[in-house]
């Protein structure tokens, strides 16, 4: 079960998220991940070794993902409704909209993690688990989430660059230089993006995902000034 947003701000949400991950860790810096096998979905413990992931069909997956270009995008296509923004009911359709091909197992050629947080007037918006995971079809996108920590898993069978717009499109949340979901500059909101604590100009949808990168989208209204949240405390094993 995902931790509930209590409305006490980004730090409280992050502490909850870290606790969720910590509870999933086993001794010896081992973590539980979902993998697809020939008989269905399984959850297994694997050693948290940098650059190592589990794949049951790497050759087949490699051919599938070459259709995704990772090109710079102008906007993420998705809902303009207010949060909460749940994981999409049809992950495969949303992944296709993002130009991502679904896989039968997590890829191993590109394996990094990026953290994403969103705050609106100081209150955290939950980034849900199971973005990019189609449980009914037993398929998984190269970009996905396993829980509500905000950690984006990049696990691709081919090495390429992915961007934040692809994540938001498969999440089904609109993202552009002047909009995040229902929050737009035309409605009096300001969208400010920080990467590793540094303010970024331009379109957040074009931010390229990098290992242990901390991406914070801060939404304010009126005269409110955006400030970068404290750096994300990465759990052991990532």
Question: Residue 157 domain-assigned?
Answer: yes
Question: Is the pLDDT reported for residue 201 higher than 60?
Answer: yes
Q: Write down the pLDDT at residue 224.
A: 81
Gyration radius (Cα) of the chain, Å: 17
Domain count of the chain?
1
- What confidence tens digit (pLDDT) does each residue in 48-99 have? 333 333 333 333 333 332 233 445 566 899 999 999 999 999 999 999 999 9
Domain that holds residue 171: 10-221
Question: Residue 230 domain-assigned?
Answer: no
Question: Residue 197 domain-assigned?
Answer: yes
Q: Write down the pLDDT at residue 75.
A: 87
Question: Residue 2 domain-assigned?
Answer: no
Question: Residue 232 domain-assigned?
Answer: no
Say whether pTM exceeds 0.85. Answer: no
- What confidence tens digit (pLDDT) does each residue in 127-172 have? 999 999 999 999 999 999 999 999 999 999 999 999 999 999 999 9
| Cα gap 212→25, rounded to integer Å | 18
Contacts of 52 (CB under 8 A, 6+ apart): 46, 108, 111
- What confidence tens digit (pLDDT) does each residue in 8-17 have? 443 443 444 4
Q: Can you point out the beta strands (E) in 5-109?
A: 25-26, 30-37, 40-47
Question: Is the pLDDT reported for residue 42 higher than 90?
Answer: no
Q: Do 65 and 107 touch, CB atoms closer than 8 A? A: yes
Average pLDDT, the chain: 78
Please, is 39 exposed, middle or buried when counting C-beta atoms within 10 Å of its C-beta (0-12, 13-18, 19+)? Answer: exposed
Q: Write down the pLDDT at residue 172.
A: 98
Q: Write down the pLDDT at residue 195.
A: 98
Q: Which of 25-34, 72-81, 228-237 has the lowest average pLDDT?
A: 25-34
Question: Residue 132 domain-assigned?
Answer: yes
Question: Residue 136 domain-assigned?
Answer: yes
Question: Residue 236 domain-assigned?
Answer: no
Q: Write down the pLDDT at residue 73.
A: 63
């Amino acid at each position: 079960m995902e931790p509930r947003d209590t409305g006490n701000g980004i730090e409280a949400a992050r502490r909850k998220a870290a606790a969720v991950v910590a509870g999933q860790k086993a001794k010896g810096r081992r973590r539980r991940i979902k993998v697809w096998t020939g008989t269905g979905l399984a959850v297994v413990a694997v050693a948290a070794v940098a650059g190592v992931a589990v794949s049951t069909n790497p050759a087949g997956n490699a051919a599938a993902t070459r259709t995704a270009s990772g090109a710079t995008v102008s906007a993420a296509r998705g809902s303009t409704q207010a949060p909460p923004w749940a994981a999409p009911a049809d992950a495969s359709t949303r992944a296709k909209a993002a130009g991502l091909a679904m896989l039968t197992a997590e890829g191993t050629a590109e394996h990094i993690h990026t953290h994403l947080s969103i705050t609106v007037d100081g209150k955290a918006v939950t980034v849900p688990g199971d973005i990019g995971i189609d449980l009914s079809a037993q398929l998984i996108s190269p970009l996905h989430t396993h829980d509500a920590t905000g950690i984006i898993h990049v696990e691709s069978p081919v090495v390429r660059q992915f961007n934040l717009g692809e994540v938001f499109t498969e999440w089904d949340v609109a993202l552009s230089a002047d909009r995040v979901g229902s929050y737009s500059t035309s409605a009096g909101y300001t969208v400010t993006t920080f990467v590793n604590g540094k303010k970024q100009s331009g379109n957040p949808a074009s931010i390229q995902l990098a290992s242990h990168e901390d991406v914070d989208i801060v939404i304010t209204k009126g005269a409110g000034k955006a400030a970068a949240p404290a750096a994300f405390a990465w759990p052991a094993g990532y």
